[in-house]
Structure 1
Amino acid sequence: MAGGRQASRRRFLGAAVAGGAAGAAPLFVPVTFASSAFANESANDRPGVACIGTGGIGMRDAREHREFGDIVAVCDLDRKHAERAKYDVRVGAGKAETYADYRKVLDRPDVDVVSISTPDHWHVKIAIEALQAGKHVFCQKPLSLTLEEGRLARAAAEKYPRQQFFIGTQQRAEKDLFLRAVNMVRKGLLGDIRRVTAGIDGSPTGGPFPAEPAPERLDWDRWLGQAPKVEYRVHRCHDLFRWWYEYSGGKFTDWGAHHVDIAQWALGEDGPGKGPVEIDGIDVHHPIPFKDGNPTRDDWFNTAHDFAVTCRFKSGVELVVTSRGDNGILFEGTKGRLFVNRSKITGKPIEEGWDKDAFTDADVRALFKGKPGEGHKQNFYRCIREGGLPVSDVFSHIVAMNTCHLAAIAGRLGRKITWDPAAERIVGDEQAASFAARTPRAGFEIPRV
């Protein structure tokens, strides 16, 4: 690396260290963001970025990261994906080095930022090891595969406070839609909220899928990681992994990570000790029979395709997580109701402008934890430079993910379960509690810091 760039990177990252230290104030003048890209002082003032997982979402993330940093490494267990990222003019531009083993990426001193867009069951392990290696972490949602993984990730974030740990929940940066809805709820403009419905769609159904040899370009055994070793099926891999509980939580965690997050943020149920106290999974249906909460076949998609899970909070508010109806979030209060999704925000409070003069730049800044309202990844890179918590912080995400995992557990067992949000444990149901963690395959254990 050239000396000028090396020195400039030190200035950039030194600001993050100063701002991230517990109780310390940033020791620099905050920069101004005049465009969608990071306002670098020079072409050399850019962090080195490594992209781990370069499938469809990983490529999108990589192209967005390149607005703010230099892509120096791309990593994927499918060689075709890694090579595509290397030579994409908006990602590696033929210059980034390719890897199959992410550990070699973490060893590189010129990697400052790690972007994780792998299947869900790899997220926490890679994220914790990246923090241990001194890297800032951008991780796609959902962060965790289990309740325990959330606690492990939180412990790592607390141990390494100087590194940013950012979650890819981009709805938190959509000012005119989700932030407007959150502001109206938090300010009481809808009255007392009685019920929230999070429409997240249902998983696809399908099967049986034939077993076949894995492609030569793919390291299937390593792709499985902590999950049980099984025969390769095309429909288990890449973007279809979401419809198998072995690697994901289906729609409960895929879209729940977005809409449940927004719902609990608006309700003020996103902090320590927050969350539902009862989760009713009786009305949940899977495409194949289950026994003791586990699928009875290994050649069909197995995540829930039709469901309505009711999560009750101590306040009495109900959050219904459902596959039925429109995708989006419906807030129902004593004064009014509104619906919001990625394309619209509707309802009488919106049509009549109940939040006129009540949704200011100061309100947006408050939702951004003192930062200006801006693009999702722009906020990530600002926080790297300035310190402070990002809008999509790991701590609130884990609280929302607890609800998503509990919905999946209750649904897999087809019954109500009780949750102690302060202790973060399932109460009075040993079988349900056993789903809080999984035993990984040997060699794929998650670090405990």
Structure 2
Amino acid sequence: MNRKHFLKAGALLAATTFYTSSNAIGLTQSSKLRVGLIGVNGMGWANLNALLKVENVICTALCDVDANVLGRRKSELEKRNIQVKTYEDYKQLLKDDVVDAVIIATPDHWHCLIYVDAIKAGKHVYVEKPIGNSIKECEVMVAAAAKSNCIVQVGQWQRSQQHFRDAIKFVHSGKLGKVRLVKAWSYVGWKDPIIKKPDTPVPAGVNYDLWLGPAQKRNFNENRFHFEFRWFWDYAGGLMTDWGVHMIDFGLIGMKASVPKSIVATGGVYADPNTAAETPDTLTALYEFDGFNIQWEHALGIESGPYGRDHGVAFIGNNGTLVLNRQGWEVIPDKNKMEAVPLQPSVDNGLELHMVNFVEAIRKKDKSIINAPIEAGSHIATISQMGNIAYRTGKKIYWNDENKKFTDDECNTYLAAKYHNGYKIPAV
């Protein structure tokens, strides 16, 4: 993030209340950190299990709008002698004094609302990426954190993984020569197109109105529920915001980059034009910076991406190319201009280290040691949203960082997610 963004975010807070986390008071290294999970399916469950491996962390509450999944997770914890309260409405969980911190792992369109309520309730927050489903939501979430002493960690766990740090250190060493192009990508070969299905009655045990929340009212359709929500604009931003926030993030870190000068994107629903999905299954986005470009590409249903990897980021320099992903990193020389670096494999568990970092920051009451702070989560989510907006408008677009707007009025209609059903973007 550049300095102007932080200054502006700080200025917005001057006349409002400061949110205090009372549950951090008296939390020592030996006392139990009590955690509640909001959104217990998929990544939320993985996050909780990683967090429970940290010493003196216990789970005390679960929340989900699907009673079927909620009951299953409660039973699984009981088999491990972990007793929890369960809630359908996250607001009731936030009122519970036996919860010090929450994991937010709902569909993206709910992140901002739950996050701001959690901060106001004085809870520490681990929030899944992307932090928000619009640029405006990201700004609100940064502002809320700036008014609070609550600790926030964003679920970009590669930032806690050693080989990612080692690779970026090599990029910063200058050995690659001038880097003119950075490629970032995600090829999801295991995911087939979504076959269109008819609307059905809401499954028993599902509070569908609460699941929709601020999203547009629609009949229930299995294609939009649970994992598949990410392919519909009402709830998420497709692979660009699902994987782009991971890989483009490291492109920006490696290049010490802030905001692009321009963005252009092209793609579409090419794998199966009859799919039910709205977000593009094939996309290329180009971000222009001074002296270099960052190129994003993704494809559903194809497994072999650049350099034979299904995901990654490549720093292409005059002397060689560094290729990095979750498995490790290597350097491929260009015409023998430098020595090759063989694959340096991953040697640790990034998600578990991320949780250790989160708990350490809570116990030390020190935001500065967080590896994925809300400002960083906001920045990369915003950059990813820019790529989607360029795709949806079909234009080469330009961002005015001083005004936090695009130079094009049509683009600015995408700045804030449209809230429905009486919900409003939270005020902080």
Alignment TM-score, normalising by the size of structure 1: 0.79
Counterpart of 1:410 in structure 2 is 390
Q: Determine what percentage of the aligned residue pairs are the same residue.
A: 29
Counterpart of 1:3 in structure 2 is none
Post-superposition CA distance 1:240-291 (Å, at most 9, x none): 111111100000100011011111122112xxxx21120011x22135999x
Counterpart of 1:399 in structure 2 is 379
List runs of 5+ in structure 1 lacking aligned partners: 1-9, 17-27, 29-39, 291-296, 357-372
Equivalent of residue 127 in structure 2, options 139, 152, 176? 139
Which segment is superposed worse, 196-205 or 404-413? 196-205
C-alpha distance in 2 between matches for 1:82 and 1:264: 38
Supply the AA of the counterpart residue of 1:338: L
CA shift for structure 1 position 344: 2.8
SS state at 2:47 partner: helix
Counterpart of 1:330 in structure 2 is 314
Post-superposition CA distance 1:55-77 (Å, at most 9, x none): 02111111122223111100000
1:126 and 2:114 are equivalent in the alignment: yes
C-alpha distance in 1 between matches for 2:284 and 2:205: 40
C-alpha distance in 1 between matches for 2:426 and 2:22: 30
Mapped contact 1:86–1:92 kept (Cα < 8 A):
no
Pair 11,98 (structure 1): closer, same or farther in 2 beyond 3 Å: closer
Equivalent of residue 404 in structure 2, options 424, 434, 446? 424
Supply the AA of the counterpart residue of 2:120: Q
Post-superposition CA distance 1:190-219 (Å, at most 9, x none): 222211011123685333221101101111
C-alpha distance in 2 between matches for 1:90 and 1:140: 25
SS state at 2:106 partner: coil
Query: For residues 10-89 of structure 1, what are the structure 2 equivalents within 5 Å?
Result: 13-14=24-25, 40-41=29-30, 45-68=31-54, 69-89=57-77
Counterpart of 1:187 in structure 2 is 173
CA shift for structure 1 position 185: 1.8
Mapped contact 1:49–1:114 kept (Cα < 8 A):
yes
CA RMSD, Structure 1 to Structure 2 (Å): 2.8
Pair 97,351 (structure 1): closer, same or farther in 2 beyond 3 Å: farther
1:260 and 2:248 are equivalent in the alignment: yes
C-alpha distance in 2 between matches for 1:184 and 1:91: 46
Counterpart of 2:98 in structure 1 is 110
Mapped contact 2:156–2:246 kept (Cα < 8 A):
yes
C-alpha distance in 2 between matches for 1:82 and 1:97: 10
Counterpart of 1:285 in structure 2 is 268
CA shift for structure 1 position 379: 0.4
Counterpart of 2:154 in structure 1 is 167
Mapped contact 1:63–1:91 kept (Cα < 8 A):
no
Counterpart of 2:419 in structure 1 is 440
SS state at 2:150 partner: coil
Alignment TM-score, normalising by the size of structure 2: 0.83
SS state at 2:414 partner: helix
Aligned residues: 383
Pair 180,91 (structure 1): closer, same or farther in 2 beyond 3 Å: farther
Query: For residues 204-215 of structure 1, what are the structure 2 equivalents within 5 Å?
Result: 205-215=193-203
Post-superposition CA distance 1:373-424 (Å, at most 9, x none): 9811100001111113300111012111111001011111222111123432
Mapped contact 1:63–1:90 kept (Cα < 8 A):
no
